Structure 1
Amino acid sequence: MSVLSPYRVLDLTTERGLICGQMLADMGADVIKVEPVGGSSARGIGPFYQDPPHPDRSLYWWAYNRNKRAITLDLERDAGRDLLVRLVERADFLIESHNPGYMSRHHLGFADLSKINPALIYVSITPFGQDGPKASYADSDLIIMAASGPLILAGDADRAPVRLSIPQAYLHASADAAVAALAAHHERVRSALGQHIDVAAVQSVAMATQSNILAAALGSVEPRRMSGGVKMGPIDLPLVWPASDGYIAMTFLFGSALGVFTARLMHYLCEQGFCDEATRDKDWIAYGEQLFSGAEPLAEFDRVKQVVRKFTRSHTKAELLTLAVERGFLITPVATVEEVVESPQFASRDYFQSVAHPELGESFRYPGPFAKFTATPIEYRRRPPTVGEHNSEIYRDELGLSERDVAELTRAGIL
C-alpha cells in the first residue's frame, strides 16, 4: 500500500498548481482532477503530440497529471456546485488555484466547505496570497519571478533580464503546497481537524533565492546578473566554465564553506603545471575579502580565472566530472537534453518510466518519480486522463447518479 492510498484529493487547480496534485497522486492518493466542461485551460498549452492542438495531447498536461482521475464540472452553476459539495463530503484534501475570492464567491471557500467536512485540508495556490495589497494583481511567471527576486540574476549584464523557457514560479509554489498539505495531515492525525493552507507563489520563489534577497536589508553587496555567473560589486564570479566539448558548472568561490574546495582545485592545477606555487598558495578562504578590500587587485583575479579556464578547456565534461569525483572538486557537467535522456546515472536508477497511452496505441518515456521510498515505492498507475474520462465512474458508480441523470447533466453542460 502506498503512503497516501487511503486518502482522496480533489484537484481544482488551473495550470498554476497541477504538480501539487500529481505529487500527492504519486504517493498513492486518489486524486480526482475536477475540470471545467470541455477540459482545463492547461490542456491548451503546447507543445502537442504530433503537433496539432488537441486537449488530450498536450505535453504540458501530460507532464503534470499522471496518476489522476478526471471529471468535468461547471462550478459556475448551482447544480455543479452541489455535486462538488457531495464530493467534498468524502474528500481528505482539496487543492485550488483560482484568483483570491473566486471560491468564496461561489460558496466553495474553506469557511463554507469546512462546515461540511471539518477534517478537510484546503490548499490554495495563488500569485500573491489570499490577501494583501497585491492579492488581486495580474500574474505571469515573468511577473512572479521578478517580484520575488531571482529574475534580476537571469541574463546578460548589459540588457534586461530574461525568464527561463519553462515556467518555474508555480512549480516552486505547488511543491511547497504539497509539503504543507502533508504537514497539515500530520496535525490532522492528532486533532482530526483540517485547515486552510495559503501558498503565495511570490513567497515560495523568494525562499529559493539562497538568502541573496537579504543582501540589501543587511547592507551587504547585492549580486547582479552576469551571463554564466554573478557580479558582486566590481567582481565577476563565473559559475559556468568552458570544457573542450561544452560547459561545466563549477563552484570557484571563497570563504570558510567554499574556499577549501577552491584551494583543493588550485593545488591540483599546480601539480598539473597550470599555475605556480604562489598562485596555489593564495589564501582562498579570505580571498573574497581581499578582493572587496582591494588587497588583491582585480587584474590578478582576472589572471587566476584565465588559469582556471585554460585548465577546464583542456578537458572534456566527462573527464572533469571524473576528476571531481576522485579529487573532491565542485564540478558538474552542463548536460544537453540528449545527455540527460541517455544518462547512465538515470539508467542505473531506472529513472525514466514507460507509460502506456492505450487511446493512442503507444507508450511514452516519462521522467521518473521525485523520490524513492523503500517500503512504498511510487508507481505510475495511470497515464494522464483524457477530458471527462472518469465522469461515469465518479458520478454514477460513486455518487449514485443514474445513467439518465448523467446524460441530462451532460446535455445541460453541467458535466
Structure 2
Amino acid sequence: MAQAPHPLAGLKVVEVAHDIGGEFAGLLLAQMGAEVVKLEPPEGSPTRQVGPFAKGQVDPNASLNFWYYNSNKKSVTADLATPGGMAVLTDRLADADIFISTLQPAALTALGLDLYALSDTHPRLIVASITPFGLTGPWADYKSSDLVALAAGGPLNSCGYDDHSIPPIRPGGNQAHHTVTSFAQIGLMLALLERQNTGRGQVLDVSMHEACAVNVELANPYWFYPRVHVHRQTCRHAQPSPTQSALFRCADGRYVYFALILSEPKAWNALVNWMDSKGMAVQLTDPAFSDVAYRQEHFHEVQELVECFFLIQDSHEAYHDGQAAGLPIGVLNAPEDLFDDEHLKAREFFVDVAHDGLGKVAYPGALYRFSSFGEVPRTAAPKLGEHTDETLGTGAAKTPEEVAP
C-alpha cells in the first residue's frame, strides 16, 4: 500500500526557543514532517553551549545536547533586538502555521512583541508560548531550570532515597522540560484541529511550573483524598508509608527491578512456581503461605528467599524467565547498555545520521511510527546560521549587517 505524505508535511514552524522545552516541541513537529526554522541570535542559542561536546571540543556546532533537540531543523541567525532581525521574524511569520516562543513577558516587551497582537495580525497563526511560569502572574518573569521547575512544581519531593537525611534527588533526563513539551504538543494538535474547523489560530500559554504541578504521580490524590503526604523511597513509588525494596542483586552484579506482589494470587503462584523450578521455593510451597495474611505476616521470610533466588541467577536470565512467567520484572540498564539491547536492535531504534567531518552518528530514532505515513528521514542539527542565506534570498531581503549587526 502506498504511504501518504508525512503527517505534518507542508506545515511551517518558526521557533524562537532558548531552552530544551521549546526546542523539543519543535523537534516533535519536525519529526512528523513540518518545516521548522529556528531563529537564533548571532552568537547562537544558549543550548549550543550545553555539553557534552563531540570529541570533547567545546564548539557551538558540536553540542550533543543541541544535536538531539534540533535535528531536522533549519538555523537562521537574526538579532531580534534590531529592526533587521525583527524584519526576518516578521517575514517568516507571514506564512507560518506555528510560532514557538520561549520568551518570557519582560523579554517580549523589550523586543516589542505582543503574542496576542501577532495572533490578531496573522489569524491562522498558532502561537505556542512555552515558558517557566506562563505569561501572567507574579512569577511570570522568574528564572527557572529543569531542577527549579521540578522543585517548585512538586515532583522533586517524591524523588530520592529511603534515607531522608539525604535531600531530594533530581531525576535525570530533563523531565520538567519534557513534561511541559508534552502538554504543549497536545495543545498544538488540538489547536490545529480547531483551525481546520474555524480557520483561525490561537495563543497557547503553556507553563512548565503548572505542567510539573500535575505530574506528581501519587502525591496529589493522596493529599486530596486521605490528606496524607507521600515520602520518597529508593527506586520505587513515593508512598505514605514505606514499602518493601524492589531492587534485587543478581549473580552478575547487576540488579533487576521486581515488584513483589503478595496479595494477588496469580502473581504469587507464578513466583512460587518459578522459584520451585530452580529448587529455591523452600517453605513457600507450604499450604500456610497460600493465605495472604500469613504471607504478609511472614514477609521477611519471603523477602530473604527472593533475595537469595536472584543471587544465583544472571540478571538477563532472571528478566526473561520472570517475564515468561508473567511477572513485572525488568533489568536495570545503564544508558550505554541500550546500544546492545536486543529489543531496540530488533526495532531498529537507533538511526545513523551523517555529520560533516564525523561520519555517521547514532541517534535515538523517531518518536512516532505511523503505518499510513512515510518515514521522515533524520537529518543532522543545523550549524549556526546554516540557512540564513537561504532565508535572506526570499521575501524582503536583508543584508547580513541588518540581520546580525
Please state if 1:281 is matched with 2:281: no
- Structure 1 contact 230–238 (Cα < 8 Å) conserved: no
Name 1:247's counterpart in structure 2. 255
- Structure 1 contact 2–378 (Cα < 8 Å) conserved: yes
Counterpart AA for 1:169: A
**Could you tell me the TM-score, scaled by structure 1's length?**
0.87
Greater shift, 271-280 or 125-134, is seen at 271-280
> What is the rounded CA distance, in whole Å, between the counterparts of 2:193 and 2:288 in structure 1?
54
Name 1:171's counterpart in structure 2. 178
Shift of 1:406: 2.4
Please state if 1:159 is matched with 2:166: yes
5+ residue gaps, structure 1, are: none
The partner residue of 2:37 within 32, 36, 60 is 32
- Structure 1 contact 101–130 (Cα < 8 Å) conserved: no
Counterpart AA for 1:353: V
For residues 326-341 of structure 1, the aligned pairs below 5 Å read 326-341=324-339
For residues 124-163 of structure 1, the aligned pairs below 5 Å read 124-156=129-161, 157=163, 158-163=165-170
Counterpart AA for 1:25: A
Counterpart AA for 1:180: G
The partner residue of 2:13 within 9, 14, 33 is 9
- Structure 2 contact 280–309 (Cα < 8 Å) conserved: no
Shift of 1:263: 5.1
Q: Provide closer, same or farther for how the CA distance between residues 243 and 86 of structure 1 changes in structure 2, counting only shifts above 3 A.
A: same
- Structure 1 contact 267–280 (Cα < 8 Å) conserved: no
Name 1:108's counterpart in structure 2. 113
Please state if 1:118 is matched with 2:127: no
- Structure 2 contact 134–206 (Cα < 8 Å) conserved: yes
Q: Provide closer, same or farther for how the CA distance between residues 121 and 237 of structure 1 changes in structure 2, counting only shifts above 3 A.
A: farther
CA displacement, residues 346-388 of structure 1 (integer Å, 9 cap, x when unaligned):
1111111110112x24211111111211222442342100000
Counterpart AA for 1:182: M
Q: Provide closer, same or farther for how the CA distance between residues 14 and 194 of structure 1 changes in structure 2, counting only shifts above 3 A.
A: same
Shift of 1:6: 1.1
- Structure 1 contact 230–237 (Cα < 8 Å) conserved: no
Higher relative contact order (CA 8 A, sep 6+): 2
The partner residue of 1:265 within 248, 268, 271 is 271
Shift of 1:148: 2.2
Q: Provide closer, same or farther for how the CA distance between residues 104 and 184 of structure 1 changes in structure 2, counting only shifts above 3 A.
A: farther
For residues 228-243 of structure 1, the aligned pairs below 5 Å read 228-230=235-237, 232-243=239-250
Shift of 1:200: 1.4
Name 1:202's counterpart in structure 2. 209
- Structure 1 contact 392–406 (Cα < 8 Å) conserved: no
Shift of 1:183: 1.4
Name 2:399's counterpart in structure 1. 406
Name 1:371's counterpart in structure 2. 368
> What is the rounded CA distance, in whole Å, between the counterparts of 1:269 and 1:202 in structure 2?
46
> What is the rounded CA distance, in whole Å, between the counterparts of 1:15 and 1:73 in structure 2?
17
For the residue of structure 1 that corresponds to 2:308, the secondary structure is helix
> What is the rounded CA distance, in whole Å, between the counterparts of 2:82 and 2:48 in structure 1?
22
Shift of 1:153: 2.6
> What is the rounded CA distance, in whole Å, between the counterparts of 2:262 and 2:142 in structure 1?
41
- Structure 1 contact 85–113 (Cα < 8 Å) conserved: no
Shift of 1:332: 1.2
Q: Provide closer, same or farther for how the CA distance between residues 282 and 311 of structure 1 changes in structure 2, counting only shifts above 3 A.
A: farther
- Structure 2 contact 82–402 (Cα < 8 Å) conserved: no
5+ residue gaps, structure 2, are: none
- Structure 2 contact 119–203 (Cα < 8 Å) conserved: no
Counterpart AA for 2:271: L
Greater shift, 374-383 or 240-249, is seen at 374-383
- Structure 1 contact 223–230 (Cα < 8 Å) conserved: no
Q: Provide closer, same or farther for how the CA distance between residues 279 and 67 of structure 1 changes in structure 2, counting only shifts above 3 A.
A: farther
> What is the rounded CA distance, in whole Å, between the counterparts of 1:57 and 1:38 in structure 2?
14
> What is the rounded CA distance, in whole Å, between the counterparts of 1:261 and 1:34 in structure 2?
54
- Structure 2 contact 158–216 (Cα < 8 Å) conserved: no
Please state if 1:193 is matched with 2:200: yes
Q: Provide closer, same or farther for how the CA distance between residues 208 and 280 of structure 1 changes in structure 2, counting only shifts above 3 A.
A: farther
Name 1:223's counterpart in structure 2. 230
- Structure 1 contact 21–178 (Cα < 8 Å) conserved: no
**Could you tell me the TM-score, scaled by structure 2's length?**
0.89
Identical-residue share of aligned pairs (%): 26
Counterpart AA for 1:185: L
Name 2:377's counterpart in structure 1. 380
Name 2:351's counterpart in structure 1. 353
Name 2:391's counterpart in structure 1. 394
The partner residue of 2:191 within 173, 184, 187 is 184
RMSD between aligned alpha carbons?
Answer: 2.4
- Structure 2 contact 106–141 (Cα < 8 Å) conserved: no
For residues 92-107 of structure 1, the aligned pairs below 5 Å read 92-107=97-112
